[in-house]
Amino acid sequence: MSKLMWMAFAAWSGGLFAQETCDNGIDDDGNGLIDLNDTAACACHWTGVRTSGPPYLPNPSFEERSCCPSGFAQMNCLDGWVPGNGGTTDYIHTCGFAPGITPVPFPDGDGCVALIADHDWKEYIGACLDVPLLADSAYSLDWSVSAFTANDGLAIWNPEPPFSALDLTLFGTTDCADLPAPTLQCPGTMPGWVELGTVHYQPDTAWTHVGFTFTSPANITAIALGPPCVLPTDYPTVDPPSLNNAWFFFDKLTLRNANSIDGRGSLCADDMVLEAFPQADATQFQWYRNGVALVGETATVLPVSDLGLGTGDYQFRFSSGDSCIVLHHPIGSESPEATFTADPTEGEAPLLVHFVNTTPPSPGQTIQWVLDGTVITDAPSTSFTYTAAGAYDAYLIVSDAGGCSDTAWVRIIVGASGIPVMPNVFTPDDDGVNDRFRSLADVRGGFRLTVRNRWGQVVFTTADLRQGWDGRMSGSPAPDGTYFWTLAPNEVPEGPVTGSGHVTLLRARH
């Protein structure tokens, strides 16, 4: 091949492949690596596995209370929250105190909080966190807010749009004893308090969802949320009194680890869902499984089970400015594998059997024994006495915290005074399973088995109960149906019957 022809071929073959697009589930550039697996073409910053974390905030929707508020400034009725400063923040609840302009219904439940933002009188809500925020870790705060302009009694209000936009602000401190901050201004003006983050909000009478992401500068144990330290100039003052105070209502707060993925439900319960919590400025969402894009899945919620998906490493990619960030969350096999021992598994009645659970333990695991109709729960070992002859199936059901379960079983063979135990069904279809009608226990001899059809005709007889009947009559397959059997002492040909019953013969349908 000439040099010119080779160059032409190389140019033509190179044109068969395009640049990897990273979100279409296709190996565009033909290098055998699809989407995020092509790390050269789809370079992103990958975070570690991170869930939304513990419940940081107490009583986040203001529902838990020790009393029903009957007027203003009764935050003492609200569990877990206090005024964030020296102001008289209000607890609103439909059980008793919901002034005329209260924006009902609330986003969550029957309670909310209300505060004023004036130049010389600012109010905040404050709480000591259930779990501290860690220094240099990223978090997201979001909540619902509504705003009105009204007089002090929330009875006379202005239907026109409220004041100009402002930055709702979160402050934090490393010491819960700093609550409430001893000032009528913002907590950020007091020693120990720092600003954690803000969200720009245009006041609106309708409930609005707002939020932001921040990095904690220290191990924060308490927070205060409300207006910024410096308000826009068009906001009012309390002195002299104004008929147009700026009122803000807060409800349904959520504080969680930023850039995290939570899973709820389970694969075995067929209700597995993943939800991503990216940082506040995130855009351009896309879900992946094992690095390959799930085309069309561009919301923060991924209904794993509804999409028929299974185990794997799931990724959520988003953009932040010029950066590409990937969160990931593995979903492994969830169902436990139940195992147990039983000793002995055969013997004469009464037969005492000892059962021991040997299933590997897991958090939230529960166990249940089902022994001849008796249910025994949460016992790692148990014993049971079988008083009558027969074949009994003993079950162990193991369930995990996610609702997945597995069942193990063993058959217990119980004889009466040495009389063999016979099954009530067999399937002579030559598949190697239950092909013969014979004793369920090891029988050394001493009995003769006789099998008759419904008309009383003998179709089979033997003194070898271990060999049993293969389901044939005169060399040909016996018809499906019910047959009757008897056991008699082998050494007494016409001796008394010591055991009898019926057995169903079933063959597989092909």
* CATH code, domain with 432: 2.60.40
Look at 21 and 12; give whichever has higher pLDDT: 21
pLDDT digits (tens, 9 = 90+) for 495-507: 566 778 899 999 8
Number of domains making up the chain: 4
Arithmetic mean of pLDDT over the chain: 87
Check whether residue 205 and residue 98 sit in a common domain: yes
Which pLDDT score, from 0 to 100, does residue 3 have? 42
Q: Is the pLDDT of residue 202 over 70?
A: yes
pLDDT digits (tens, 9 = 90+) for 129-155: 999 999 998 899 999 999 988 766 555
Domain-located, residue 118: yes
Q: Are strands 499-505 and 425-426 parallel, antiparallel or unpaired?
A: parallel
Which pLDDT score, from 0 to 100, does residue 491 have? 62
Domain-located, residue 453: yes
Check whether residue 274 and residue 348 sit in a common domain: no
Q: Which amino acid is at 54?
A: P
Domain-located, residue 1: yes
Which pLDDT score, from 0 to 100, does residue 463 have? 86
CATH code of the domain in which 273 resides: 2.60.40.2700
Place of tokens 């009947």: 469
Q: Is the pLDDT of residue 2 over 50?
A: no
Q: Is the pLDDT of residue 427 over 80?
A: yes
pLDDT digits (tens, 9 = 90+) for 177-194: 999 999 999 999 999 999
Which pLDDT score, from 0 to 100, does residue 242 have? 56
* Pick from 380, 304, 376: nearest CA to 338: 380
| pTM, 2 dp | 0.61
Which pLDDT score, from 0 to 100, does residue 361 have? 87
Which pLDDT score, from 0 to 100, does residue 83 have? 98
Q: Which two tokens stand for residue 401?
A: 């915290």
Check whether residue 232 and residue 302 sit in a common domain: no
| Radius of gyration in angstroms for the set of CA atoms belonging to the chain, rounded to a whole number | 37
Which pLDDT score, from 0 to 100, does residue 444 have? 56
Q: Which amino acid is at 445?
A: G
Check whether residue 311 and residue 187 sit in a common domain: no
Q: Which domain holds residue 22?
A: 1-50+259-333
The alpha carbon torsion through 97, 99, 104, 106 (nearest 10 deg) reads -50
In what helix (H) or strand (E) does residue 82 lie, and over which residues does it extend?
strand 82-83
| DSSP code for 65 | B
**Range in 32-46, 119-133, 442-456 the model is least confident about:** 442-456
Q: Which residues are within 8 A (CB) of 5 and not within 5 positions of it... i.e. 6 or more apart?
A: none
Place of tokens 């068009």: 234
Q: Is the dihedral of CA 211, 215, 220, 221 positive or negative?
A: positive
Q: Is the pLDDT of residue 510 over 70?
A: no
Domain-located, residue 305: yes
Domain-located, residue 500: yes
* Pick from 238, 249, 133: nearest CA to 196: 133
Q: Are strands 283-289 and 292-293 parallel, antiparallel or unpaired?
A: antiparallel
Q: Is the pLDDT of residue 355 over 90?
A: yes
Q: Which two tokens stand for residue 195?
A: 């600003």
Q: At which of 415, 447, 482 does a domain end?
A: 415
Q: Which two tokens stand for residue 11?
A: 């140019």
Which pLDDT score, from 0 to 100, does residue 239 have? 67
Check whether residue 185 and residue 126 sit in a common domain: yes
Helix, strand, or coil here: 143?
strand
Which pLDDT score, from 0 to 100, does residue 11 have? 39
394 in Cβ contact with 412 (< 8 Å): yes
pLDDT digits (tens, 9 = 90+) for 356-368: 999 998 877 899 9
For residues 43-63, give the mean pLDDT. Answer: 90
pLDDT digits (tens, 9 = 90+) for 314-341: 999 999 888 899 999 998 766 788 999 9
pLDDT digits (tens, 9 = 90+) for 215-255: 999 999 999 999 999 999 989 887 655 567 889 999 999 99
Q: Is the pLDDT of residue 10 over 90?
A: no
Model confidence band, residue 492 (pLDDT cutoffs 50, 70, 90): low
Domain-located, residue 399: yes
Q: Which amino acid is at 66?
A: S
pLDDT digits (tens, 9 = 90+) for 69-121: 999 999 999 999 999 999 999 999 999 999 878 899 999 999 999 999 999 99
Q: At which of 333, 361, 382 does a domain end?
A: 333
Which pLDDT score, from 0 to 100, does residue 509 have? 61
* Pick from 305, 307, 287: nearest CA to 297: 287
Q: Is the peptide bond before 496 cis (omega within 30 degrees of 0)?
A: no
